[in-house]
Amino acid sequence: MTERTNVMAIQNLPSSATENVVEPPKRREMPGWMITAISVVVLIGAWQLFGRDINPVFGSYPSAIAVAGWNLLISGDLLTALMSSLQSFLAGYSLAIVVGVPLGLIIGRSRVLENAVGVYITAGNAMPLVAFVPLLVLWFGLGFTVKAAIVFLMSMFPICINTWSGVRAVPKTLIEVGKSFVAPNSVILRRIVLPATLPYIMTGIKLAVGRAVVAMVIAEFFTAISGLGGIIINSANNFDTATMFVPIFLLMILATLLNGLVGLIERRVAPWQFELSDRE
Amino acid sequence: MGQVSLVDVSKRFALRIKNEVKTVNALSSVNMDIKDGEIAVLIGPSGCGKTTALRIAMGLETASQGRVVVDGRVVTGCGYDRGLVFQHAELLPWLSALENVMFGLEMKGMRGAELRDTAMRYLELVGLADSADRRPHQLSGGMKQRVGIARALAIDPSVLLMDEPFGALDAQTREGLQGELLDIHTRTKKTILFVTHDLDEAVLLADRVIVMRRGTIQETIDINLPRPRGDLGALRGSAEFAEARYRIWRALHEIPETTH
């Protein structure tokens, strides 16, 4: 019935009007960041509302954590801890990229290396590397080096494995493009395999952010107690739960920011990947 | 000069099917001589070995027996004397159309202003000068394949090898590109070895059609249509076209010539 009336309506319009029909602008959708922001505000609000009823030893709530955070900040402890943590984090994490990416590339391109070395990479990724911490302490002591080593060990494997599987996913025909122009293997690796693998590499680097943060905290728990992990352990031992949450939140924010940063870099170095996929 | 020959080329490989090793003869003693400046079309049903023959000519696969001769020299592996146009263009997605054409030239050792100018000249040849800065995903299927042709031609090979380059395109785009390829051939006089499974395409393009079946050459048929081919639409409707097409059709279906 409605369809018929629509037809009638169109027929009744003057012809010039039908020619000039323009699609009405789409209703403006709420931007994605606003949806996220509302979700975060609602969650924090609910926590503030209900968190006050919990015994402060067993839990805390946002305003108490904010006060504890402010106190840590003005005492300078937070900044010192952050700097100490960041040092070992960045050292281990960048070394993991520098070693993991080339290693993944050559493992993926060489049948011999893939079978000779690949098994250790897979095993290393699967096993609980925390178990090595006591041994690493014996090797490297309790300071900066051992922390960087733990971060390196735990973040290198996902980077390497992702790079490796990315190389394996490079279409054979793209390699043949290189071969058909008589490109030597090193040039094929650099000019074809590396760019084709970049999206995978960036995914590995993103996954490794989370692993590296966990590694950093574990290192600070089990070696010389210091940095953000040190604040967590010390305040937990003093039943100061609100203070304990401060570095936890800081780490969460840092990891999210770092993830976003890697995502931005990804868009810069491998933009075709995003232009290819579209999502509603 | 632009000559390519396969001399007594065979390709065998072992396949393990349900624990039984079977030898597959992809090509058995194939001989073909592609003359300077001609368009030779390899046609046959899928699995007849036409693509294998082309890949061996290119040097992407090795023959179990026999040799490939280009301009009188026995060749092993790929070389700048042959340019390959892939079935699905295979442009590098992170490079623009121009950079894709430059890629082959760079591999050949060209640098500087000459590199850019040469690549641009070949993009102009395929009518894509305006789209030089577009990335592959911003190009249509037909445009991608034209970049693929420009990339292969840019290194100025003696022989252009084309592996079902228009097979994945829609009918109209395909007809357009067939015409363009003929124009390019008229202008550059390149020797072309063209693989297809499309009868009409074979007749339209070829000086000679090589019909393959089960890894051997069934028959070689000369196409005596005039060059330049002119209006392809009219040509398709002509009696000569139909006659040539029918001859290839019979060869493909193994009907002996005597029943003609």
Q: What is the 3-state secondary structure (H, E, C) of A15-78?
A: HHHHHCCCCCCCCCCCCHHHHHHHHHHHHHHHHHHHHCCCCCCCCCCHHHHHHHHHHHHHHCHH
- Cα–Cα distance for residue pair B60/B56, rounded to 1 Å: 6
Q: What is the mean pLDDT of residues A129-146?
A: 90
| B3 lies in the same domain as B76 | yes
| B149 lies in the same domain as B211 | no
**Least confident stretch, A171-185, A231-245, B138-152:** A231-245
| B59 lies in the same domain as B165 | yes
| B14 lies in the same domain as B59 | yes
Judge residue B113's burial from the number of C-beta atoms within 10 Å of its C-beta, 0-12 exposed, 13-18 middle, 19 or more buried: exposed
> In this predicted structure, what is the pLDDT of residue A276?
59
Q: At A14, is the secondary structure helix, strand, or coil?
A: coil
Residue B182 belongs to some domain of the structure = no
Residue A111 belongs to some domain of the structure = yes
Helix (H) or strand (E) run with residue B43 in it: strand B39-43
Residue A90 lies in domain: 61-270
Nearest CB partner across the interface for B137, out of A174, A176, A276: A276
> In this predicted structure, what is the pLDDT of residue A226?
84
Selection from B38, B31, B36, B41 nearest residue B5 by Cα: B31
Please give the backbone phi and psi of residue B180, each rounded to the nearest 5 degrees, phi first: -65, -40
Cβ proximity of B133 and B97 under 8 Å? yes
Selection from A212, A120, A124, A118 nearest residue A163 by Cα: A118
Contact (CB<8Å) B137/A192:
no
Residue B71 belongs to some domain of the structure = yes
Q: What is the pLDDT of residues A197-223, one digit of tens each?
A: 998 999 999 999 999 999 999 999 888
* Calculated CA dihedral for residues A147, A152, A153, A156, nearest 10 degrees: 160
| B2 lies in the same domain as B71 | yes
- Tokens 């499309």 belong to which residue? B198
| B53 lies in the same domain as B124 | no
**Chain B residues with CB within 8 Å of chain A CB:** 58, 60, 77-80, 82-84, 86, 88, 90, 92-94, 103-104, 107-108, 135-138, 155
Buried b (16+ CB within 10 A) or exposed e, B118-150: bbbebbebbebeebbebbbeebebbbbbbbbbb
| B60 lies in the same domain as B168 | yes
> In this predicted structure, what is the pLDDT of residue B159?
95
Q: What is the mean pLDDT of residues A215-234?
A: 88
* Calculated CA dihedral for residues B101, B105, B110, B115, nearest 10 degrees: -20
Residue B184 belongs to some domain of the structure = no
* Chain B residues touching residue A191 (CB < 8 angstroms): 103
Contact (CB<8Å) B58/A174:
no
Q: Are strands B73-75 and B65-70 parallel, antiparallel or unpaired?
A: antiparallel
* Calculated CA dihedral for residues A29, A30, A32, A36, nearest 10 degrees: -150
CATH assignment at residue A227: 1.10.3720.10
Cβ proximity of B136 and B148 under 8 Å? no
pLDDT band of A12, cuts 50, 70, 90: low
Residue B136 belongs to some domain of the structure = yes
> In this predicted structure, what is the pLDDT of residue A279?
46
| B57 lies in the same domain as B132 | no
> In this predicted structure, what is the pLDDT of residue A1?
44
Residue A56 belongs to some domain of the structure = no
Q: What is the mean pLDDT of residues A160-166?
A: 95
> In this predicted structure, what is the pLDDT of residue A280?
39
| B147 lies in the same domain as B199 | no
Q: Which amino acid is at B138?
A: Q
> In this predicted structure, what is the pLDDT of residue A18?
56
The ipTM of this complex is 0.91
Selection from B151, B142, B141, B49 nearest residue B98 by Cα: B151
Distance from CA of B243 to the nearest CA of A (A): 37
Please give the backbone phi and psi of residue A220, each rounded to the nearest 5 degrees, phi first: -75, -25
Average model confidence (pLDDT) across chain A: 87
| B42 lies in the same domain as B69 | yes
Between B191 and A8, name the one with better pLDDT: B191
Query: CB neighbours of A111 closer than 8 A, spacing ≥ 6?
Result: none
Selection from A234, A229, A278 nearest residue A250 by Cα: A229
| B56 lies in the same domain as B169 | yes
For chain B, how many structural domains are there in total?
2
Regions of chain B with pLDDT less than 70: 256-260
- Tokens 């392809």 belong to which residue? B232
> In this predicted structure, what is the pLDDT of residue B34?
95
Question: With a CB-CB cutoff of 8 Å, which residues 157-176 of chain A face chain B?
Answer: 171, 173-174, 176
Residue A172 belongs to some domain of the structure = yes
> In this predicted structure, what is the pLDDT of residue A278?
52
Residue A180 belongs to some domain of the structure = yes
Q: Are strands B159-163 and B82-85 parallel, antiparallel or unpaired?
A: parallel
- Cα–Cα distance for residue pair A19/B89, rounded to 1 Å: 41
- Cα–Cα distance for residue pair A17/A24, rounded to 1 Å: 14
Query: Which own/partner contact pairs does A252-255 have at CB distance under 8 Å and 24+ positions apart?
Result: A254/A213, A255/A209, A255/A210, A255/A213
Residue B135 lies in domain: 90-156
Nearest CB partner across the interface for B107, out of A182, A198, A270: A182
Closest CA in chain A for residue B87 = A173
User: Considering just the CA atoms, what is the radius of gyration of chain A in Å?
Assistant: 27
Q: Quick count: other Cβ atoms within 10 Å of Cβ B91?
A: 26
Residue A87 belongs to some domain of the structure = yes
Q: What is the mean pLDDT of residues A35-59?
A: 89
Nearest CB partner across the interface for B137, out of A180, A187, A275: A275
For chain A, how many structural domains are there in total?
1
**Least confident stretch, A17-31, A166-180, A226-240, A258-272:** A17-31
> In this predicted structure, what is the pLDDT of residue A162?
95
> In this predicted structure, what is the pLDDT of residue A19?
60
* Chain A residues touching residue B138 (CB < 8 angstroms): 275
| B107 lies in the same domain as B68 | no
Six-digit token string for A268: 């810069």
Alpha helices in B33-190 (DSSP H): 50-58, 97-107, 112-125, 141-154, 171-188
